[in-house]
């Protein structure tokens, strides 16, 4: 167990950050699934904006790697463009 006050605080803050990151990551994954399941081009294009923003936020906070974020956004954009065509 930690002996210093700062170490105890670090444990508390790490746990809070972990839970926040987990919630945001799970929410984003659910939104991605919803977008991939979408068959309507108009709905998909509006969802794409929101999902792209969520993915960017995860990459910015280092929850996911920036290259993974770019790959996700690229594949989702391809999916939406295929629906529109």
C-alpha to C-alpha distance for 41 and 56, rounded to whole angstroms: 22
Task: Determine the pLDDT at residue 56.
Answer: 98
64: which DSSP letter? S
Contacts of 54 (CB under 8 A, 6+ apart): 24, 27, 28, 31
15-60 residue pLDDT tens: 999 999 999 999 999 999 999 999 999 999 999 999 999 999 999 9
Superfamily the domain 5-84 falls into: Ribosomal protein S20 (1.20.58.110)
Report the C-alpha dihedral over residues 52, 66, 34, 22, rounded to 10 degrees.
-120
Task: Determine the pLDDT at residue 63.
Answer: 96
Domain residue ranges in the chain: 5-84
pTM of the model: 0.87
Element spanning 4, H or E: none
Confidence tier at 85 by pLDDT (50, 70, 90): confident
Token pair, residue 58, equals 């995860």
């Amino acid at each position: 167990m930690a002996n210093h006050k700062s170490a105890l605080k670090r444990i508390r803050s790490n746990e809070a950050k972990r839970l926040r990151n987990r919630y945001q990551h799970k929410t984003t994954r659910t939104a991605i699934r919803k977008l991939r399941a979408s068959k309507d081009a108009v709905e998909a294009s509006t969802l794409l904006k929101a999902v792209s923003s969520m993915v960017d936020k995860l990459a910015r906070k280092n929850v996911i790697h920036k290259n993974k974020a770019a790959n996700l956004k690229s594949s989702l954009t391809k999916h939406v463009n295929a629906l529109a065509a």
